[in-house]
Structure 1
Amino acid sequence: MRVNRILLSTALIVVALVLQVSVLARLHLPGAVPDLLLLTVVALALVYGHVGGALIGFGAGLLADLAPPADHAAGRYALVLCVVGYLVGLARPGNGRLKSVTGPMLVVIVAAVGSTLLYALVGALVGDTAARHVGLGGLLFSAALYDLLLAPFVVPAIMALARRAENDPLAESSTTVKGTDISSGWLSSGTGLRLGGRRGGVTRLKAKARTRTTRVTRIKGVKRL
């Protein structure tokens, strides 16, 4: 991932986690807690694709696992958000821009339900039965409802910020450079190859100037003879 992506994703994840822990979790809503962190991962994955979504999801989940008042095994939510980020990134449009709101809303619902089911499944594997006391059906319904109500205010704004960050002059152009990695894309649109081209052009101009000077000298010599 490029530096601008890492910085933007880190800032958004930290802000989302702070708001979720300090504000949303204190509302004591029935059922699940609105997952602002999940919505942030979904929005970034829709712009950056499956690889970036998986990396961002893993980092966001690991941060949530370590941040207080986490009461589950470390790495549990990191696994969940990593899988969600990867799968959501597969639904990313080719140019990173969505033509309608239906697609993102469906993605949010599937991500909310899927993350809750996967979290409960991983919890069952490690012996955490907290979901049984609350009721898995109530968790699924409330998670999908809360995230769906919150998504129109979060997902478009984060996607707009991510797309604006992609307009960095040092960023590679995904439409002109295909089948190459990030480093080669950066070089193809950055200063390296352009400087090389300019140096080559200057060298050619100098060679042409020398050739013209040589021709003029020869012509003057012939006239004197």
Structure 2
Amino acid sequence: MRFNRMLLSATLVVVALVIQVSVLARLHLPGAVPDLVLLTVLGLALVYGHVGGALVGFAAGLLADLAPPADHAAGRYALVLCVIGYLAGLFKPDNGRLRSATGPMAVVAVAAIGSTLLYAGVGALVGDTAARHVGLGGLLLTATVYDLLLAPFVVPGIMALARRADNDPLADTTSATKAADVASGWLSSGTGLRIGGQRNGLRARAAKARVARAGRIKGVKRL
């Protein structure tokens, strides 16, 4: 990944994690907690593609695993967000620009359900049965509703920031300079051909004039 991508991704993930832990988790909403980190990963994956989405998802999930008050094994949520980021990146729109809100909202809904199921499944493998006591159905419903309500305010803004970070003015200047050099090369070569042609024409005309003058002088002498 480019440096500007890594810097932007790290900043957005840290800000989303701080808001989620310090604000959203303390709202005591029924069921699940709105997953701002998941929405951040989805927004970046829809611009950076499946590889970038997997990398951002793994890093974001690992930070979420280590951030207090984490009550699960480290690497659990990193695996979940890595898979979700990879799958979401497969639905990257052309040029990273949204044509309609239907596709991204569907991605958010599927990601909310898939991340909850995958998190519960990985927890069951390591002996964590907390999802059964809370109620998996209620978690799926509330996680999907909360993320869908929050997505219109988060995902488009993150995608816009990611697209702006991908615009490299140095690269644009370099390409413009190369285009100018090529154009000037074409112009200089064309001018050189024209000047050369004009010089050859002047030389031919001068030679013809000399021949004509010599013929006239010879004719005068003959007379």
Tell me the TM-score range normalised by the shorter chain: 0.7 to 0.9
Measure the CA separation in 2 of the matches of 1:84 and 1:169.
Answer: 32
Measure the CA separation in 2 of the matches of 1:95 and 1:163.
Answer: 9
Cross-structure match for 1:166: 166
Q: TM-score w.r.t. structure 1 length?
A: 0.78
SS at match of 2:99: coil
Measure the CA separation in 2 of the matches of 1:133 and 1:141.
Answer: 16
Q: Deviations over 1:22-49 (max 9, x none)?
A: 0000001110000000000000000010
Query: Aligned-pair distance for 1:168?
Result: 1.8
* Residue 149 of structure 2 is aligned to residue 149 of structure 1: yes
Query: Aligned-pair distance for 1:170?
Result: 4.0
1:79-118 correspondence runs (5 A): 79-118=79-118
Cross-structure match for 1:51: 51
| Number of aligned residues | 207
Q: TM-score w.r.t. structure 2 length?
A: 0.79
Cross-structure match for 1:68: 68
SS at match of 1:95: helix
Cross-structure match for 1:2: 2
Query: Aligned-pair distance for 1:94?
Result: 2.4
Q: 1:35 corresponds to which letter in structure 2?
A: D
Query: Aligned-pair distance for 1:95?
Result: 1.3
Measure the CA separation in 1 of the matches of 2:52 and 2:170.
Answer: 18
SS at match of 2:96: coil
- Kindly name which structure, 1 or 2, has the bigger radius of gyration based on alpha carbons: 2
Cross-structure match for 1:34: 34
SS at match of 2:92: coil
* Residue 15 of structure 2 is aligned to residue 15 of structure 1: yes
Query: Aligned-pair distance for 1:167?
Result: 1.1
Gaps of at least 5 residues in structure 1 are: 172-188, 213-225
Query: Aligned-pair distance for 1:73?
Result: 0.3
Gaps of at least 5 residues in structure 2 are: 197-223
Identity across matched positions, percent: 78
Q: Deviations over 1:51-104 (max 9, x none)?
A: 000000000000000111000000000000000000000000121111000111
Query: Aligned-pair distance for 1:190?
Result: 7.6
Runs of 4+ deviating beyond 2 Å? 189-192
Cross-structure match for 1:181: none
Q: 1:57 corresponds to which letter in structure 2?
A: G
